[in-house]
């Protein structure tokens, strides 16, 4: 009996090892796909790595040393000091954080309501309304820049958080994305909630939205990244030092007369990139789940 048990155990170990070898075995097509993915990743990541390495260099090292050269005595802290001495980095950073976060939260709120109405309510003109919203996605921002600026000026919102936030508080893409996500919600579930006496607000915020957290987070990531990188609208609508955003601050570090201090500029860009990396690092699994699921495919 003991010998039989030992033989069974040895057989199970061999089968397990064989199955593991089978899992890691790649066919030529799979190997080619992996090579292409690794190559594409290297091409995408290389500029970011070069940017980080440049924060440790002096100006002359950029043109005389190899791209990936790291000096024996990195000058990261010196370059950080130059950034804070050149621009009001903290102020610009906080402005970008306030504007990007506010726009993201407002867009999630309004897009969820509009998307839910367009997906689950039946009212006259619903198709026309949705088609009009989709049509606005095809209009370049530069076309509406001047009319939008005039409206903001007439409201007295120039050089203020209201002028930076309110015009972007709702997006046609956000409405489209949330509508597509809400289409997958069973109507029977909503009817059961209404029979139990739940209000439409409660149905939306306590039943529907918790079912579509990946779609909400995906929209939040896209809006936050887009607004954090925004340059044209803050450039047009702000005049004073106190309302400039991070993108404008990076633009101020470029000096055409005496030459741009590239290590200082790359240091500021790396610090400005940190919130984006952190946001995506914590929320990437929801974003991937939304893309792989119904949020962007329906």
State residue 64's pLDDT score: 76
Report d(CA 234, CA 214) in Å as an integer: 30
Which has more confidence, 143 or 240?
143
State residue 12's pLDDT score: 60
For the domain spanning 86-292, the CATH number is: 1.10.3720.10
Residue 48 confidence (pLDDT) above 90: no
**For the chain, domain boundaries:** 86-292
Residue 23 confidence (pLDDT) above 70: no
Q: Mean pLDDT in the chain?
A: 84
State residue 292's pLDDT score: 59
């Amino acid at each position: 009996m003991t010998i039989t048990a030992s033989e069974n155990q040895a057989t199970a170990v061999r089968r397990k090892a064989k199955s593991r070898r089978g899992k890691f075995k790649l066919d030529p097509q799979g190997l080619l796909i992996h090579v292409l993915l690794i190559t594409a990743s290297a091409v995408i990541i290389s500029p970011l790595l070069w940017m980080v390495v440049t924060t440790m260099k002096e100006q002359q090292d950029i043109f005389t040393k190899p791209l990936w050269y790291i000096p024996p005595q990195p000058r990261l802290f010196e370059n950080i000091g130059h950034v804070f001495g050149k621009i009001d980095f903290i102020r610009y950073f906080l402005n970008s954080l306030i504007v990007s976060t506010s726009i993201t939260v407002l867009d999630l709120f309004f897009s969820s309501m509009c998307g839910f109405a367009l997906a689950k309510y039946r009212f006259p003109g619903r198709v026309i309304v949705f088609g009009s919203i989709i049509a606005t996605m095809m209009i370049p921002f530069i076309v509406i820049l001047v009319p939008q600026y005039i409206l903001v000026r007439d409201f007295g919102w120039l050089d203020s958080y209201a002028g930076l936030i309110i015009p972007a508080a709702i997006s046609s893409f956000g409405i489209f994305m949330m509508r597509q996500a809400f289409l997958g919600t069973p109507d029977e579930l909503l009817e059961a909630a209404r029979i139990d006496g739940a209000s439409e607000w409660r149905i939306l915020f306590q039943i529907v939205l918790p079912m579509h957290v990946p779609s909400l987070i995906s929209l939040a990531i896209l809006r936050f990244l887009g607004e954090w990188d925004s340059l044209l609208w803050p450039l047009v609508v702000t005049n004073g030092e106190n309302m400039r955003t991070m993108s404008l601050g990076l633009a101020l570090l470029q000096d055409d007369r005496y030459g741009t201090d590239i290590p200082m500029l790359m240091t500021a860009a790396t610090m400005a990139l940190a919130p984006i990396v952190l946001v995506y690092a914590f929320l990437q699994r929801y974003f991937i789940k939304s893309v792989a699921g119904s949020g962007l495919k329906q």
